[in-house]
Amino acid sequence: MNHKHSKILEKFFHHPISNDIQWNEVMKLFKGLGATIEVNKHSGKTNISLDELSIILPKQTHKLISNHKEVIALRHFLEQSGNTP
């Protein structure tokens, strides 16, 4: 994980919840952590698998992840996989 990945990871654990996390940054972070990322062509949902854990995210329609529930879900996913700032 490089410095940019660390900065993105910190955004997930920032209080109050950050609302400026860019979707492409999230994908770069997970790729940097060695995750497998699959996008369903029909539904647009994204499946992220990391360290025998997986999370399915709804279709992204914006460049930013502004839904606080998604940020919290990703935060918990990162915690469970042992990736905290």
10-65 tens-digit pLDDT: 988 988 888 888 999 999 999 999 999 999 999 989 999 998 999 998 888 788 88
In the chain the first and final C-alpha atoms are separated, in Å, by 11
DSSP E strand boundaries for the chain: 21-22, 36-39, 46-50, 53-57, 64-65
Q: Measuring CA to CA, how many Å separate 38 from each of 11, 57, 62?
A: 23, 10, 18
pTM given for the model: 0.85
Domain ranges of the chain: 3-80
Determine the Cα angle at 46 with ends 56 and 74, to 5°.
50
